[in-house]
A and B are shown apart, each in its own frame.
Chain A
């Protein structure tokens, strides 16, 4: 086997050699450094190779030719090999990154860097506690010295604080080791672990001091002020080393010590880890300095790792699983954190506000995004799998406190990381021109990214049997990213072709019943709308790849079979939609609230899924869900999770902004397609929760009221919007409310109405949004009162909107009426009379905003500035034309949609006998309600009664005199500026007077309150960091004593 001692020897020789060869040339010493780092990394890699391909069971090596209790043993197994490989590779990358700085700073710094690596390697390898202490000191002293690489006052002060804290930690460690040796008579960890030593108080205290020394080195909240200062002020390359290499090595030794610790320490350590994770993330909320923010994130992640290593034993988790989880979290954090520190060094902007200069640097932006998203725990990065497993374990075994803390902490972390990301992506007019990039410094983060993806694939494939197509979204992202330099239209058409082929040959055959319906909505609906994106002139970098990822994940959502497949896909969908929203001009705030609510929802879904029995691979999730029955908690969690995606009242606050700020065409997809994914999820929950819901009537009642209130308040809020996209956003929310209402009935007819609306809403909302996208494109504004009279300029868009609003309002003969009819009859049939009444009110209110929409935009007086507006581009018309045809088709022949829906629903809820189709006539003969609707006949009659008067008019009105729009008389004169008479702004003032009090934004105020409170709390917590080294020292002492007392160690 590869002797681990060579790792140590190489570093030592390198470090000793450097001052000497430096006399010849500085480049020579840098060469020695690179050689040592690369050589050690390759040694580790060789060892990994050995372990994989030649079965060497021997992992221990000892020194001086004596057996371990006498001599010092080193272990070089899989964990150590992997860890040292990463550490040394990171060391090498840091070396590359720091090359210039090291070259300037003097030869000693090169030696110190090598010795830092030596310390880390030794700490990882050694199996002897005192030897560990020695290597820890080497590591720490090297770190102290490197902090001085930046000779600013702050860096030096931070370094000194660090030395004080580190000195205290080593003192504790040494005292602990001394006393523990008294009790154990050995220093070798393996021998020690086998001994049975009576747990006297003294022994426990000795062990306590040992472990606390490492806990302090791991920088737990709140005893970590020194570490934060260091992260903030040290050279970014050094901070990166501390966050990755230093923390990694210390953590691994901490892990090695755990078997020695009395059982009662473990929950204590787990608790400290959790507290550190949660509160560090909370405190970070207010942080504006990028490096310090990373420091908080780093301490938080370490806290989580501490919890994983110490807390999961309680739950009878197999140690290898614990390692898998820890590994996933660790590697993600390891690479992403060092990568971010590197980027921070390249950007050179201290505050997160100023990171918008990244926008001009696509490569940096992509790297930044990858690191941020990896840290957030989104798939496919290893942290995702780790979190998945943690939550599985905690949820199944009732670790609710830990689960809550972890999810809350993760959400907080996502909040500040993604806010930062948003700030970087946002468009800023006064951003300075960036200087040319330091290409050498770019290499490390680039390699880091590649490594991260490699690890992701490795971890994903290692433990899980993921269905092979689960990575399709990523594959699509990759392929289209490569194609991204092609012209937009080519890419778009390729995407359409790819989705078409994939959907038709791969997805469709695997679907049945409800799956086919949703397949049509999710894939078909999205496919048609892809055309709409193609009108842009530019290349639109990133658009098509993300769209591809989104649509492929939508398809996978239907074919996913296991719980993990489903959740993974769900997160892919969330991720890609978030990035697509980010493409909006000033969408970073809206996108943030979207992703936070989505992640919150996803966490609830994750917890809910964890409580469910495993699903077998091979059969689609939605089909299996029929055989499963879930509990109350699961139902509620999953329900809320999916409701967030649909934008139900109470959790809708993300919706208007996200819809308004996303790119116009994407808003259409968001509203018409993506919200249906939430509907799909909700449907599955209802299927699985049949038993629970039967036992708890209240739940369904609550859901139905939630649905109808969503419909009502959505409609009411839409009435008062001046922004056309917000109006439509609220309208979507309202429509989704009806869908929820329909499903909440848990009756055949109710589900038919929900699904019917799911379909029709896709058609008419996409139609309107696409038309409005054209209008906004041409007029350059979203405010309706800045438009007017566009019917003459954009007749086709007008027709689209007209068809759309007739359908939305539910006026016969178009398909919209079907949804109204289904919903009212099903409501009354189920005895939900008051919901029906309120729903009716809501749909009446819809007329207000729909009229406002079409009138203020297309009718009335045109603005002189919009004299030269042209019809929407051809590509935007395509989806509109398709949707109009579809709407006309299903209005005339509703059976083509109502019958399949009914038969799909009957898989889950049997079709009652009293519901029947005779021709196009749907008859309801329930004992409690009779009714019927013949869509075909209504259409024909309407055509008739419309056609005759029209003919009559045409006949007698041959000499109609056409006049211009401006040709009006108002208040007995021809207005000098006719467009000033356009009745548009605050159109429903009277309605506002009467009912405006209903929509005072209480819910938004609530969520704002939540934000504000958490920020105040963060501020309060951050004020413990006074900047004084002695105060920090005091914190550490107090921290140790408090834990000792709280732990009740005796």
Chain B
């Protein structure tokens, strides 16, 4: 009982802690200096219409590298916890005929859409993460539709490794070609023409690696979770 009172008090307390934040909150009329610099810089320095991508992939690229790592880590962690059991096939319920047929048509489309999203990340909303997730959703669809569908771990691993290392290597290329402070600088590739697919330096390349990696990781994650969940 005392515990519940305490919990209640604690929640009130947290709300009370948040209260001044809300009170002082106001929606500004202009962006702050840093944001303005980002918006301007993304267009001026990187020739990139999507300022968010500029921030995510270039200015704060290290964050994104970390982010990819976190995802990789989660996959590895989940995979480590839920080790794949052999002879799991047949336990899963088969999908309906509609799902099966639909998935056969939809999956390639989804994958292509995913690829579109991450290759155009520097131009339009989206990027490596959404793209990767979209691709993974195709695999999820296949997974649900076919009871015998399984991923080849070799391919997943290979994709993960190659795209991950590729990402890091692109970063290092910046270091090697442009100098000490240019890790993840995409400008060693030509900035290209405004609004084109092959523009903004190496950003599309980076986003492709991210997309592939995220896709592979998400698929791996799904696979790990489903393969273990069925066992009783």
Q: Are B14 and A1041 in contact (CB under 8 A)?
A: yes
Counting chain B CB atoms within 10 Å of each CB, which of A16, A118, A186 scores highest?
Answer: A16
Which residues 171-189 in B have Cβ within 8 Å of A in the complex? 171-172, 174-175, 178-187
**B223 part of interface (Cβ distance < 8 Å):** no
Binds B, one of A141-149, A571-579, A682-690, A788-796: A141-149
Q: Are B7 and A64 in contact (CB under 8 A)?
A: no
Could you tell me the distance between the alpha carbons of A538 and B67 in the complex, rounded to whole angstroms? 63
Could you tell me the distance between the alpha carbons of A115 and B165 in the complex, rounded to whole angstroms? 14
Could you tell me the distance between the alpha carbons of A834 and B182 in the complex, rounded to whole angstroms? 86
Could you tell me the distance between the alpha carbons of A999 and B7 in the complex, rounded to whole angstroms? 55
Binary A-proximity of B1-33 (CB < 8 A = 1, otherwise 0): 001001100100110011011011100000011
* Apart from A72-B61, A179-B21, A205-B20, 5 more pairs, CB < 8 Å: A12-B165, A13-B168, A71-B60, A72-B59, A111-B73
**B37 part of interface (Cβ distance < 8 Å):** yes
**Chain A residues in 8 Å Cβ range of B161:** 16-17, 19-20
**Chain A residues in 8 Å Cβ range of B192:** none
Minimal Cβ-Cβ distance residue in A for B10? A1037
**B41 part of interface (Cβ distance < 8 Å):** yes
**Chain A residues in 8 Å Cβ range of B76:** 19, 108, 111-112, 115, 145
**B74 part of interface (Cβ distance < 8 Å):** yes
Could you tell me the distance between the alpha carbons of A690 and B80 in the complex, rounded to whole angstroms? 71
Could you tell me the distance between the alpha carbons of A20 and B159 in the complex, rounded to whole angstroms? 10
Q: Are A201 and B175 in contact (CB under 8 A)?
A: no
**Chain A residues in 8 Å Cβ range of B59:** 64, 66, 70-72
How distant is A183 from chain B, measured CB to nearest CB, in Å?
9
Could you tell me the distance between the alpha carbons of A135 and B64 in the complex, rounded to whole angstroms? 11
Could you tell me the distance between the alpha carbons of A269 and B70 in the complex, rounded to whole angstroms? 30
**Chain B residues in 8 Å Cβ range of A9:** 168, 171-172
Q: Are A72 and B83 in contact (CB under 8 A)?
A: no
**Chain A residues in 8 Å Cβ range of B74:** 141
The 7 closest A-B pairs by CB, nearest first: A16-B164, A145-B77, A202-B24, A108-B80, A134-B66, A185-B32, A65-B185
**B62 part of interface (Cβ distance < 8 Å):** yes
Which residues 1-47 in A have Cβ within 8 Å of B in the complex? 1, 3, 5, 8-9, 12-13, 15-17, 19-20, 23
Q: Are B77 and A65 in contact (CB under 8 A)?
A: no
**Chain B residues in 8 Å Cβ range of A64:** 58-59, 61, 174, 182-186
**Chain A residues in 8 Å Cβ range of B182:** 63-65
Could you tell me the distance between the alpha carbons of A135 and B65 in the complex, rounded to whole angstroms? 10
How distant is B154 from chain A, measured CB to nearest CB, in Å?
7
Could you tell me the distance between the alpha carbons of A997 and B180 in the complex, rounded to whole angstroms? 83
Q: Are A135 and B34 in contact (CB under 8 A)?
A: no
**Chain B residues in 8 Å Cβ range of A1037:** 10, 13-14
How distant is A5 from chain B, measured CB to nearest CB, in Å?
4
Minimal Cβ-Cβ distance residue in B for A182? B25
**Chain A residues in 8 Å Cβ range of B158:** 20
Q: Are B184 and A63 in contact (CB under 8 A)?
A: yes
Chain A's interface: helix, strand, loop or mixed, by majority?
A: helix
How distant is A585 from chain B, measured CB to nearest CB, in Å?
49
**B38 part of interface (Cβ distance < 8 Å):** yes
**B129 part of interface (Cβ distance < 8 Å):** no
**A783 part of interface (Cβ distance < 8 Å):** no
Could you tell me the distance between the alpha carbons of A145 and B75 in the complex, rounded to whole angstroms? 10
Q: Are A23 and B154 in contact (CB under 8 A)?
A: yes
Q: Are B63 and A130 in contact (CB under 8 A)?
A: yes
Could you tell me the distance between the alpha carbons of A1033 and B181 in the complex, rounded to whole angstroms? 42
Could you say which of A65, A137, A138, A1041 contacts B174, with CB atoms under 8 Å apart?
A: A65
**B95 part of interface (Cβ distance < 8 Å):** no
Q: Are B172 and A131 in contact (CB under 8 A)?
A: no
Could you tell me the distance between the alpha carbons of A206 and B18 in the complex, rounded to whole angstroms? 9
Q: Are A112 and B21 in contact (CB under 8 A)?
A: no
**A289 part of interface (Cβ distance < 8 Å):** no
Minimal Cβ-Cβ distance residue in A for B16? A1041
Could you say which of A16, A61, A66, A141 contacts B41, with CB atoms under 8 Å apart?
A: A66
Could you say which of B70, B160, B178, B180 contacts A16, with CB atoms under 8 Å apart?
A: B160
With A1-B180, A112-B77 already in contact, the answer to whether A138 and B69 are too (CB < 8 A) is yes
With A69-B37, A201-B24 already in contact, the answer to whether A112 and B63 are too (CB < 8 A) is no
Could you tell me the distance between the alpha carbons of A144 and B168 in the complex, rounded to whole angstroms? 25
Which residues 55-96 in B have Cβ within 8 Å of A in the complex? 58-63, 65-67, 69-70, 72-74, 76-77, 79-81, 83
**Chain A residues in 8 Å Cβ range of B62:** 8, 63, 72, 126, 128, 131, 134
Q: Are B180 and A17 in contact (CB under 8 A)?
A: no
**Chain B residues in 8 Å Cβ range of A15:** 69, 72, 164
Could you tell me the distance between the alpha carbons of A205 and B21 in the complex, rounded to whole angstroms? 8
**B101 part of interface (Cβ distance < 8 Å):** no
Binary B-proximity of A775-805 (CB < 8 A = 1, otherwise 0): 0000000000000000000000000000000
**A856 part of interface (Cβ distance < 8 Å):** no
Could you tell me the distance between the alpha carbons of A503 and B136 in the complex, rounded to whole angstroms? 80
Could you tell me the distance between the alpha carbons of A61 and B158 in the complex, rounded to whole angstroms? 32
Q: Are A131 and B6 in contact (CB under 8 A)?
A: no
Which residues 113-152 in A have Cβ within 8 Å of B in the complex? 115, 118, 122, 126, 128, 130-131, 134-135, 137-138, 141-142, 144-145, 148
**B193 part of interface (Cβ distance < 8 Å):** no
Minimal Cβ-Cβ distance residue in A for B187? A65
How distant is A101 from chain B, measured CB to nearest CB, in Å?
12
**A434 part of interface (Cβ distance < 8 Å):** no
Minimal Cβ-Cβ distance residue in B for A69? B34
Binary B-proximity of A753-794 (CB < 8 A = 1, otherwise 0): 000000000000000000000000000000000000000000
With A9-B172, A64-B61 already in contact, the answer to whether A109 and B183 are too (CB < 8 A) is no
**Chain B residues in 8 Å Cβ range of A63:** 61-62, 181-185
**A1044 part of interface (Cβ distance < 8 Å):** yes
Q: Are B157 and A23 in contact (CB under 8 A)?
A: yes
Could you tell me the distance between the alpha carbons of A105 and B77 in the complex, rounded to whole angstroms? 12
